[in-house]
Amino acid sequence: MGFWNSKRVLVTGGNGFLGKHLLDRLRKEGCREITAPRSREYDLREKDAIRRLLEISRPDILIHLAAICGGIEANRSKPAEFFYDNAIMGIQLIEQARLAGIAKTVVMGTVCAYPKFAPIPFREDDLWNGYPEETNAPYGLAKKMLLVQLQAYRQQYDFRGIYVLPVNLYGPLDNFDLTTSHVIPALIRKMEEARKSGAKSVTLWGTGKASREFLFAADCVEGILLAAERYDKPEPVNLGTGREITIHDLAVLIQKAVGFEGKLEWDFTKPDGQPRRQLDTTRAQKEFGFQAKTPFEEGIRQTVEWFRKQSP
């Protein structure tokens, strides 16, 4: 419990969805020196901005959460931006962290880095056995290059950097913008608005046959902090629950949680994305004792409740 009391921590992306949960947890753990810059103050695509940030914050631990990300449509419409921004931010940040002598760096990867047809469940050793799903490949590959960089820096410079691979996240504070959100907040918003308006149906993307695994944001934070404290190896580590659900069954679950009584219709002309996603979480449990705690139905309930408070 006392690990974070004396640490200076820099969190990039600290004002995003996961970042806000992480900052709240760090404060509860007794961390008194936290820096969480906004992008308008420090553009992490610019080397000089990163240098200034590290000089001011002088962190013992750097946690890199900052990312340009979104759902299928956002990835399809801005693949170049998703690749360049995510790659350049991470590459320059890791290099400057090395030059600054930061003791420990934690980099967030993405489940989108896995091959489109990786065996289920996704094991970290399968990360390079194929090309990612096409709609989010530029984003996934940009983030995967940071793993290569961390491993190369550990080999040549003895740089203490670790790479965690979270599955799809959800929870309070999520992004509910229908053009950029991920599947859970998008479904919650669509069904809540349909319920309020008395609509007889909602139209959802794809066939509903694809599967996904979801991790409650607070559980992901637990995994990040445990990894920062206890893990120091070059191999990437999955963070998830080890359980998958089809998008159809997810939609039915959210429909029930929201109380929408209309019909669910599927637009088969829209893509499903990756056919299946389920992680093998053995390594995280073995290496630093991480196991997700929040039951999925409870996490959905809390997320719906939070969204309703924001848009009564």
Number of H helices, E strands in the chain: 10, 12
* CATH entry, 8-171+214-243+278-293, from 3.40.50.300, 3.40.50.720, 3.40.50.80, 2.40.340.10: 3.40.50.720
**What confidence score (pLDDT) does residue 127 get?**
97
Q: Are 271 and 138 in contact (CB under 8 A)?
A: no
| pLDDT one-digit tens code per residue, 93-105 | 999 999 999 999 9
Count of all residues that appear for the chain in the document = 312
Q: Are 215 and 57 in contact (CB under 8 A)?
A: no
| pLDDT one-digit tens code per residue, 270-309 | 888 888 999 999 999 999 999 999 999 999 999 999 999 9
Residues in the chain with pLDDT values less than 70? 1, 312
Question: 16-52 burial string, b = 16+ CB within 10 Å, else e?
Answer: bbbbbbbbebbeebebebbbbbebeebebbeeebbee
**What confidence score (pLDDT) does residue 1 get?**
56
**pTM metric for this prediction:** 0.94
d(CA 158, CA 3) in angstroms, rounded, equals: 23
**What confidence score (pLDDT) does residue 181 get?**
83
**What confidence score (pLDDT) does residue 311 get?**
79
Strand-pairing partners, residue 214, are 168
Reply yes or no on whether 139 is catalytic. Answer: yes
**What confidence score (pLDDT) does residue 312 get?**
67
What average pLDDT is seen over the chain?
A: 95
Residue 244 tokens, joined: 């998958």
**How many other β-carbons are positioned within 10 Å of the β-carbon of residue 242?**
18
Is the link from the previous residue into 121 a cis peptide, with omega within 30 of 0? yes
The pairing of strands 245-246 and 211-212 is antiparallel
From 204, 200, 218, select the one nearest 262 (Cα to Cα).
200
Q: Which of 42, 114, 139, 153 is catalytic?
A: 139
Domain ranges of the chain: 8-171+214-243+278-293
d(CA 75, CA 279) in angstroms, rounded, equals: 22
Residue 291 tokens, joined: 């196991």
Residue 224 tokens, joined: 């990040």
